[in-house]
Each structure stands twice: as structure tokens, then as C-alpha cells.
Amino acid sequence: MRFPDAEVTTLDLMRHGEPVGGRMLRGTTNHPLSEKGWQQMQRAVDEMIVKGSAPWDAVITSPLSRCREFALWLGEEYDLPVITEPSLAEMALGHWEGKTHAEVRESDGDEDRQALLWTDPSRHSPPGGETPEAFDARVGAAWQELLEDPPGRHLLVVCHLFVTNAVLRQVLEQPLSRLLAFDLPYAATCRIRHERHARGENSLVEWIGR
């Protein structure tokens, strides 16, 4: 901790494991975890837990089943409160929902709107889906609420790839064009430490791992 007198809020973000159906542009499509996905998330939690005791005060989860089902299991396993936060749902991908990357590229042809979104989400949106601006704003509002209500907690946030990217973008104060800068694997984790101190407040990325 850089400021010994700081009030610290710690958030551990964990992407969900592999859902049934494997890799695809899933968005808000509500697929459950596969058996492999459960194993991935259990390993990730085991790596974060020290000496068999869960460090978290609560588990915050996306409402989508690939996050929420595991969060509810974890809450019961370690006697932790579980809070479902609708604003942490994945970006709605419109016409791309439930399609593989190859299927989307084939339907787009030479236009390749998927590549345009990855390249600069400040200028491109999934067809029929949520705009990156609107998505970033709702995740940002949820992020600020987690820091404020109340401060000083240690939370586990079970969420999605784009959601984690949106939080990291705001912590690092990157432009919206860098909204999708992190390509994190299933069950990837990261820790963000927010410090309030006499000189103000700041958020620090403490680590990023699988």
C-alpha cells in the first residue's frame, strides 16, 4: 500500500469459465457453464484463496447464468453473501449473439464489422446490439457503486471479458478506442486496489493472472 493511512477497497475480478457451446460471440445469450468451465473457475478460486479461508466480504455477480450459478455455489460453500448486479451483464451483441467468430466473418464478407469493433470500439458497434459508449457507461456506474457502497471491502466480482475490459479501461484512464485491449482467457483473474487517502484517491491494478 503506497499510503499507510489509506482506506482500501479491493476488487478481485474473475471472468467466467467456458460455457456450454464453447467459444462464440455470446453476449447476453444465457448459456450455463460446461463441466470444464466449472473446473476452470474452481481452480481460479483455489489459487486466490490462502490457507482455505475466503478473503472476500461478498461476491458480486453478473445476472447471466455462466457467472451467477458459480457465484451462488461459491457463496454457499464459503458462507458469503451473493449480490446480483444487472449492470455487470455482458455487452449485448445484437445480430452476432450465439454465433462463432467464423460465422460472423462469413456473414459480414469484406466489411468484417467484427474486426472494426476490435480495432476501434469508439467508432463501431455490433449490429443491432449495445453501443460501446452505452456499455462502458453502465459498467462504469456499477464500478463506482462497488467502490462507494460501502468503501473498505474486499469483493469478488464474477463477470465477463468485455466487462473486465471496461473496468480496466477506466482504471487505466485509456480512451474508449482501447475498450477491448485485454484478451483474457476463461477464468482469468485480476485484482484492483482502490485507495482513499489524505491526498485524494486512486485505483491501482495489483495483478492480472489466469
Q: What is the DSSP string of 122-160?
A: TT---TTS--HHHHHHHHHHHHHHHHHSSSS-EEEEEE-
Q: Are 159 and 182 in contact (CB under 8 A)?
A: no
Give the pLDDT score at 203: 93
C-alpha cell at position 118: 476490435
| In-domain check, residue 1 | no
Contact 129, 27 (CB under 8 A): yes
Output the pLDDT for position 108.
81
132-153 per-residue burial string, b: 16 or more CB within 10 A, e: under 16: beebbebbeebbeebbeeeeeb
Give the single-character DSSP code of 19: B
Average pLDDT for runs of 10 along the chain of length 210: 82 98 95 98 93 90 98 97 98 96 86 91 96 98 92 96 98 96 96 92 89
Distance of alpha carbon 106 from the chain centroid: 28
Q: Which three cell numbers stand for residue 42?
A: 474452481
Does residue 2 form part of some domain? no
pLDDT at 1: 60
Please report whether residue 165 resides in a domain: yes
Number of domains in the chain: 1
Residue 103 inside a domain? The answer is yes
Going from the C-alpha of 78 to that of each of 39, 49, 56, 95, 153, the distances in angstroms are: 17, 11, 9, 39, 17
Nearest to 116 by CA among 100, 132, 103: 132
Question: Hey, how many other C-beta atoms are within 10 angstroms of the C-beta on 8?
Answer: 16
Domain assignment of residue 119, given as a range: 7-209
Nearest in space to 67 (alpha carbons), one of 80, 84, 54, 55: 84
The contacts of residue 95 (CB under 8 Å, 6+ apart) are 126, 127, 128, 129
pTM, whole model, 2 decimals? 0.95
106 within domain boundaries: yes
What does the pLDDT read at residue 100? 94
Q: Residue 150: its pLDDT value, please? A: 86
Tell me, yes or no, whether 112 lies in a domain.
yes
99 belongs to a structural domain: yes
Supply the CATH number for residue 156's domain.
Answer: 3.40.50.1240
Q: What is the pLDDT of residue 210?
A: 67
